[in-house]
Structure formats: C-alpha cells, structure tokens
Amino acid sequence: MGEVFRARDTRLNRDVAVKVLPKNFAADADRLRRFEQEARTLASLNHPNVLTIHDAGVLSAPTRSPNPAYQ
C-alpha cells in the first residue's frame, strides 16, 4: 500500500520508518481512509515487534523541510 523508508529523526536522535503512499492514492478517499485506519490500529498496539506510530497525515503539496536532514 506504500513504500517504507528508513530515516533519522535528528531532533530526537532516533531511527524512524516513514511510509509514503503513491500520488494516485491521494485522490482515492477509500485508500486514504484505509491508510488512516491502519495508522490508528497500529497506534493502539504496544508490542516490541510493532513500530510505534508518532505521526500520520497528508501533505497537500510537496514542501521543503527547514531541516536539511529531510531534504
């Protein structure tokens, strides 16, 4: 349902996973709903083999981060 990338949260000094959905999913309300449901479900779990959800959202347009680590 998307690509997952390993990234570094330099502010909190930790490795994170970033899941990015394909652009065409943004126009599909059902796929966005499923993505949000997946995030809510995973956020409710507490298990050492399941990642913790720190944030979920949709960017309406490509943006440049003020943090050079994310550019």
Please tell me the total count of domains within the chain: 1
pLDDT for res 20 = 85
pLDDT for res 69 = 55
pTM of the model: 0.66
In a domain, 71, yes or no: no
Q: How many Cα atoms sit within 13 Å of 37 on the Cβ side?
A: 7
If DSSP codes are grouped into helix, strand and coil, which group holds residue 66? Answer: coil
DSSP string, 4-61: EEEEEETTTTEEEEEEE--GGGGG-HHHHHHHHHHHHHHHT---TTSPPP------SS
In a domain, 32, yes or no: yes
pLDDT for res 23 = 82
pLDDT for res 55 = 85
Question: Within the chain, which residues score under 50 in pLDDT?
Answer: none
In a domain, 67, yes or no: no
pLDDT for res 63 = 59
In a domain, 63, yes or no: no
Range(s) of the domain holding residue 37 = 3-54
